[in-house]
């Protein structure tokens, strides 16, 4: 009996040791698995999951520039729209874009059924994320899609410091809208409303302001630079503006036919534009006069280094134009366009 007890005790001790070792092994495997899970590198969060920042302007604004379409749907038109004072200028600008224009002769580039879900910035980025409802994808026509995207990007990049726009639909990136790629941040386009440009990238070109078909608003158009101006692009812009738009463009001229550029120079930020007497051949009409003056001033002050425009007629300063516009001093760029 004594021998049997010793053998049984030895077996129990051996079994206990084995169970202890098995337990330690299981614990070690569990601990290792937990540790490996804790040390696994974290995946990068999608943009929507990162910290969002509201898009706030540095101060309250009471107006914003929104790009609508001409009545025929061919050209983008910048329109100064009054808003309630706010720092959320970007959000309000998109809402105004979606709401469409109030005046006649314009149409919305994005269907009214499209709604804004969210608009935000990510930390340390100048790209604004604009999230639309799924109705945005119904803009399938290639031309309309391109104009809708360009209208949005032009509207938002008018607001400092927005440098690019990333379009989202229901929180997700989309490859294309029509034939327009929207899967990456889009910067402000260099060319707006190209007209008569066979090679947009390599051609010498200037941006000028003609009128819409009803002569109600100014339309920025990029056209070929007249070769006689050489490399003087501001002079080229004035020559193109005086020449007027092509007949089949459905745009109107702002200068009376027969007007000639007698002299042009830039000094100390002022462009001196000497025109022949035909420039005031319209003889009257406040709308015609405003379009003439504003088309010239907006065209030239788009160039870096030109802040004002001094208008001369036949080499001389005049006090007024026929409708009373004062031209005795250099003209500054108006704060509103197509208001």
Among candidate residues 187, 213, 237, the one where a domain is terminated: 187
**Dihedral in degrees, nearest 10, Cα atoms 154, 156, 158, 161:** -130
Torsions phi, psi of 123, nearest 5? Answer: -55, 135
**Dihedral in degrees, nearest 10, Cα atoms 227, 230, 233, 237:** -30
Is there a domain that residue 177 lies in? yes
Is there a domain that residue 8 lies in? no
Structure confidence at residue 160 as a pLDDT band (50, 70, 90) = confident
Is there a domain that residue 325 lies in? yes
- My answer on whether 153 and 78 are in the same domain is yes
Residue 95 has pLDDT above 50, yes or no: yes
Q: For residues 128 and 94, what is the distance between their CA atoms, to the nearest angstrom?
A: 12
| Per-residue pLDDT reduced to its tens digit, 289-330 | 999 999 999 999 999 999 999 999 999 999 999 999 999 999
Residue 283 has pLDDT above 60, yes or no: yes
Structure confidence at residue 50 as a pLDDT band (50, 70, 90) = low
Is there a domain that residue 11 lies in? no
Residue showing tokens 């910067």 = 187
- My answer on whether 67 and 178 are in the same domain is yes
pTM for the structure as a whole: 0.83
Q: For residues 227 and 211, what is the distance between their CA atoms, to the nearest angstrom?
A: 23
Residue 170 has pLDDT above 60, yes or no: yes
Residue 46 has pLDDT above 90, yes or no: no
Structure confidence at residue 124 as a pLDDT band (50, 70, 90) = confident
Q: Which domain holds residue 245?
A: 205-332
Is there a domain that residue 169 lies in? yes
| Per-residue pLDDT reduced to its tens digit, 198-257 | 777 768 999 999 999 999 999 999 999 999 999 999 999 999 999 999 989 999 999 999
Least confident of 43-52, 164-173, 258-267: 43-52
- My answer on whether 181 and 209 are in the same domain is no
pLDDT in the model for residue 26: 44
- My answer on whether 183 and 212 are in the same domain is no
Vertex 82: Cα angle to 222 and 301 (nearest 5)? 35
Q: For residues 85 and 62, what is the distance between their CA atoms, to the nearest angstrom?
A: 4
Largest pairwise CA distance in the chain: 137
- My answer on whether 163 and 251 are in the same domain is no
Q: What is the mean pLDDT of the chain?
A: 87
CA 168 to each of CA 133, 156, 186, 277: distance values in angstroms, whole numbers, following the listed order: 9, 15, 12, 53
Structure confidence at residue 103 as a pLDDT band (50, 70, 90) = confident
DSSP H or E run through 68: strand 61-70
Average pLDDT over residues 128-147: 95
Among candidate residues 152, 187, 222, the one where a domain is terminated: 187
- My answer on whether 183 and 209 are in the same domain is no
- My answer on whether 126 and 218 are in the same domain is no
Torsions phi, psi of 210, nearest 5? Answer: -100, -175
* Number of domains, the chain: 2
Is there a domain that residue 181 lies in? yes
């Amino acid at each position: 009996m004594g021998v049997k007890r010793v053998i049984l005790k030895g077996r129990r001790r051996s079994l206990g040791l084995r169970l202890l070792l098995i337990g330690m092994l299981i614990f070690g495997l569990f601990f290792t698995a937990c540790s490996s899970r804790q040390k696994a590198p974290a995946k990068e969060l999608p943009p929507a999951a990162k910290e969002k920042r509201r898009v706030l302007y540095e101060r309250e604004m009471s107006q914003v520039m929104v790009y609508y379409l001409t009545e025929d749907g061919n050209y983008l038109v910048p329109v100064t729209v009054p808003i309630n004072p706010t720092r959320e200028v970007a959000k309000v600008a998109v809402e105004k874009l979606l709401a469409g224009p109030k005046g006649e002769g314009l149409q919305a580039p994005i269907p009214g059924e499209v709604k804004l879900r969210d608009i935000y910035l990510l930390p340390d980025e100048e790209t604004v994320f604009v999230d639309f409802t799924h109705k945005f994808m119904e803009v399938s026509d290639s031309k309309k899609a391109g104009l809708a995207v360009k209208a949005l990007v032009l509207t938002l990049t008018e607001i400092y410091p927005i440098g690019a726009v990333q379009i989202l639909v229901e929180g997700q990136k989309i490859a294309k809208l029509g034939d327009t790629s929207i899967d990456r941040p889009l910067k402000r386009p260099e060319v707006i409303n190209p007209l008569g440009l066979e090679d947009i990238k390599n051609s010498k070109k200037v941006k000028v302001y003609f009128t819409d078909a009803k002569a109600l608003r100014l339309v920025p158009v990029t056209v070929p630079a007249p070769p006689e101006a050489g490399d003087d692009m501001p002079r080229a812009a004035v020559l193109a503006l005086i020449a007027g738009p092509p007949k089949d463009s459905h745009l109107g001229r702002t200068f009376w036919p027969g007007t000639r550029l007698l002299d042009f120079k830039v000094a100390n930020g002022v462009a001196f534009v000497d025109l022949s007497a035909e420039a005031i051949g319209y003889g009257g009409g406040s709308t015609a006069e405003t379009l003439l003056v504003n088309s010239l001033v907006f065209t030239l002050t788009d160039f870096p280094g030109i802040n004002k425009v001094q208008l001369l007629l036949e080499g001389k300063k005049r006090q007024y134009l026929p409708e009373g516009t004062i031209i005795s001093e250099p003209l500054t760029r108006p704060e509103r366009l197509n208001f």
